[in-house]
Amino acid sequence: MSGLIGKKIGMTSIFDENGKNIPCTVIEAGPCVVTQVRTNAVDGYEALQLGFDDKAERHATKAAAGHFKKAGTVAKKKVVEFQFENEYKLGDVLSVDVFTEGEFVDVQGVSKGKGFQGVVKRHGFGGVGQATHGQHNRLRAPGSVGASSYPSRVFKGMRMAGRTGGENVTVQNLRVLKVVADKNLLVVKGAIPGHKNSYVIIQK
């Protein structure tokens, strides 16, 4: 498994060779710097730690600044570990050309936060449908939620109103439509979680 850290730029659409309009998302993928190399001898597993998106040195702790200095790079805003088959060393730069057009990737991001929402928006409840049986303000209510005399409580996990969004979401098997190497752009089919300029993790 290999991948990169990226930033969601936004959505657009492109036409394929048959003239079909395909919705797609543009991602700024990389360049990512290898900030640490995990080995079996030291860490018990093999992986690469990648850093993405520069930040000012004054905003980094001394420990973090020293960590990035070992890799010969400036402080990074986002750091993620990946498992790579190829051999890389500290300070190497990985760009969007690790992906090829036509392959499928998984994209992970944090979904948009929607605040406190009711059951219709949060869980897709249908409500009572019509204002019948004397109801005038219960169209989007969840209905009964508890049991009778036994167990006289509401079971854990009951789908109710609450805070929605802001969760880690992974969308699998998105086809890579285009790789723009000179601008570090990756165009994938479909939508990915998160708002514009949010960080995403792209994995093969």
Rounded CA gap, 178 and 155, in Å? 48
pLDDT (tens digit, 9 = 90+) per residue, 7-39?
Answer: 999 999 999 889 999 999 999 998 999 999 998
Q: What confidence score (pLDDT) does residue 139 get? A: 82
- pLDDT bracket for residue 60 (50, 70, 90): very high
- Sketch the domain layout of the chain as residue ranges: 3-118+169-203, 119-142+159-164
pLDDT (tens digit, 9 = 90+) per residue, 155-196?
Answer: 999 999 999 999 999 999 999 999 999 999 999 999 999 999
| Class for the domain spanning 3-118+169-203 | mainly beta
pTM: 0.84
Does residue 131 have a pLDDT over 70? no
Q: Are strands 3-15 and 76-82 parallel, antiparallel or unpaired?
A: unpaired
